[in-house]
Amino acid sequence: MEWIRGKEIGRGSFATIYTAKSTSPSSHLPPLVAVKASESGYSDSLKNEKQVIDQIGSCPQIIRCFGADHSVENGEKFYNLVLEYASGGTLADELKRNGGRLPEFDVQRHTKSVLRGLEFIHAKGFVHCDLKLQNVLVFADGAAKIADGAAKIADFGLAKKAGESDNTL
């Protein structure tokens, strides 16, 4: 995977999210992606996220993962998760842009997407464990509208198999 880090677009408890551009025309990556980066020593959550997304499989209402790699920047090792870029940001961002209100149609559309995504996740035997507005991504360019909605569930860092207890994070 060949990409160049762009600007910071988000920050979570375990990682920082950046835009990134693919540098290889023959790459399987779209021209613009999101890269979620964490120092290697603090990357357990990102590694769990990749493993869960890989096990869950493809669903139109779940953010796509294109792979992971390592990088060294200023002498620090990073674990990077390369994800689908959501041009509209998070659902929390959309709500803020709209003064704390959304049209009923958008609420219905986003709710339908989230419920379909959760149904898929649960059918695969997983629970998300951190569903909130900041972990639902929206697509301003309409790319996800083809998939019956413009929202996708993201951030599977705390997800686990249903019935498992995990105290490692």
54 catalytic residue (yes or no): no
- Say whether 52 sits in a helix, a strand or coil: helix
Amino acid at the residue 78 = F
- Say whether 144 sits in a helix, a strand or coil: helix
Q: Which residues have CB under 8 Å from 78's CB, separation 6+?
A: 37, 38, 39, 40, 43, 70, 71, 72
- Say whether 73 sits in a helix, a strand or coil: strand
- Among 69, 93, 106, 130, the active-site one is 130
Check: CB of residue 65 under 8 Å from CB of residue 54.
yes
How many helical (H) and strand (E) elements, i.e. helices and strands, does the chain have? Answer: 3, 9
96 in a known ligand binding site: no
Q: Which residues have CB under 8 Å from 98's CB, separation 6+?
A: none
Give the annotated binding-site residues for ATP: 36
Which residues have a catalytic role annotated?
130
